[in-house]
Structure 1
């Protein structure tokens, strides 16, 4: 299959699907088209979370604030998957989670538009990769191996005793505020305080009454600040990129 993940909203992904279907008869699966606009790091976090759940596939991923500039187009092969997208770090976290990345640069010749490379560059490349097969990328004349690409890594937390400092990485559509602090630090804890705001540590949202604040470990494995049937980011006063000081007991 080919998966699509963008910050395009609608109707732009439909144009990408049309291009792919003109080139190959393939199942297309939508990951998301409502990633935060131009937020490469948030999209990279969610791709790293979602794409490993798929069998080996071609993944066309486009969050591309540098569209129309000199930034390159890439195909990355890792763990039997192929990732197609812009050279802005978007693809690297999930590529490392899938396996050992092999990076190819795409030779782009006169795209029809300087503003819609999802349709004019990445969708055609994804279709061509699907047709030739992930194991045979060296057969595609538009691809050449490269070690010159933009990397992206997530910040590492600092953990000592019953304290950690970290960063808020993403906020999901429920308002759950996800940190970069690993969830195992909360093992055995009953209560946690983040940036001066204290809440009970519970295994899931419904362990408390609706509207109550909580600290838990999300499905991504990280410490998360939430509200049962409410927005954790608002209740804890947190925004993406905020520094976090977490204590637990």
Structure 2
């Protein structure tokens, strides 16, 4: 099955020629395939951030190949893999970057290790697998090469996975983790709408946010529970469900991450305030 698009995500940035080199390799192998930059602004070495972006974006993409390269272990013993999930093929390092996206596409149907020399560049560099291994593999798949030809099968259960975020909901309290912080400083939490409902937190209420556990050391920040940014005045904080179905925190015309001093992986406790 050929696919006419390759979507490309990395932490390479745009200052150097890394992205262009990968584009050149893919275009040389698959000149009629469109290469679309998903983003190259993943924070350096932040595998979790890249995994979240892929998982959030993949359900909205047409059948395609996705190359993800956030690879602090490049040159080590970590595998390069290709994963079939739904109508998509995901190519990248076996470091937890791809499984959340695969799950969002219906789960891993097939996975292989990228070892066949026929589908990588000759004389590969130990420190640039994006150009020499992942880009060529993606381009060959895009023009119809079966994934099974890229290397031996890997069991879905053998893929490296990131730790699942912790969420605990009980009446009046929701304990969760910061999942990702976006460009605007909005803070997406690991909890979803069902967790919010289980805690009894609903629109129109007020809640307190504490960074840390239930007895965390930080002072509480009061927020309004709403649906859209305009539910609070400029400069005020809102708790809402975002477009990816995550419970989230935002400051209208500001940065919730800066206000709270949080980053991905931090624990946050939300507590309903009495009317």
Rate the CA distance shift 1:100–1:237 in 2: closer, same or farther, 3 A: closer
Aligned-partner Cα distance in 2 for 1:37–1:183:
30
- Whether 1:18 aligns to 2:18 is no
Q: How does 1:129-208 map to 2 (within 5 A)?
A: 129-132=141-144, 136-138=146-148, 140=149, 142-147=150-155, 148-184=158-194, 185=196, 186-195=201-210, 196-208=220-232
Q: How far off its partner does 1:217 sit?
A: 1.3
Aligned-partner Cα distance in 2 for 1:118–1:214:
39
Q: How far off its partner does 1:234 sit?
A: 1.4
Higher-strand-fraction structure: 1
Rate the CA distance shift 1:204–1:188 in 2: closer, same or farther, 3 A: closer
Q: Return 229-238 or 1-10, whichever deviates more.
A: 229-238
Per the alignment, in what secondary structure is the counterpart of residue 190 of structure 2? strand
Stretches of structure 1 that go unaligned for 5 or more consecutive residues are none
State the TM-score, normalizing by the size of structure 1.
0.93
Per the alignment, in what secondary structure is the counterpart of residue 243 of structure 2? coil
Aligned-partner Cα distance in 1 for 2:203–2:184:
26
Which one of the candidate residues 46, 51, 60 is aligned to 1:53?
60
Match of 1:236 in 2: 260
Do the aligned partners of 1:225 and 1:236 also contact (CA within 8 Å) in 2?
no
Aligned-partner Cα distance in 2 for 1:246–1:157:
11
For residues 101-133 of structure 1, the C-alpha deviation after alignment (integer angstroms, 9 at most, x for no partner) is: 021111065652111111111000000111125
Kindly tell me the number of residue pairs found equivalent between the two proteins: 245
State the TM-score, normalizing by the size of structure 2.
0.85
For residues 196-245 of structure 1, the C-alpha deviation after alignment (integer angstroms, 9 at most, x for no partner) is: 21111121112222211221111111111111111001112322221111
For residues 157-203 of structure 1, the C-alpha deviation after alignment (integer angstroms, 9 at most, x for no partner) is: 01111211111111101000111111341434511211021111121
Q: How far off its partner does 1:48 sit?
A: 0.3
Q: How does 1:34-53 map to 2 (within 5 A)?
A: 34-53=41-60
RMSD of aligned residue pairs (Cα, Å): 1.6
Do the aligned partners of 2:203 and 2:227 also contact (CA within 8 Å) in 1?
no
Do the aligned partners of 2:116 and 2:151 also contact (CA within 8 Å) in 1?
no
Aligned-partner Cα distance in 2 for 1:8–1:166:
30
Q: How far off its partner does 1:89 sit?
A: 0.8
Per the alignment, in what secondary structure is the counterpart of residue 144 of structure 1? coil
Which one of the candidate residues 126, 130, 133 is aligned to 2:138?
126
- Whether 1:77 aligns to 2:81 is no
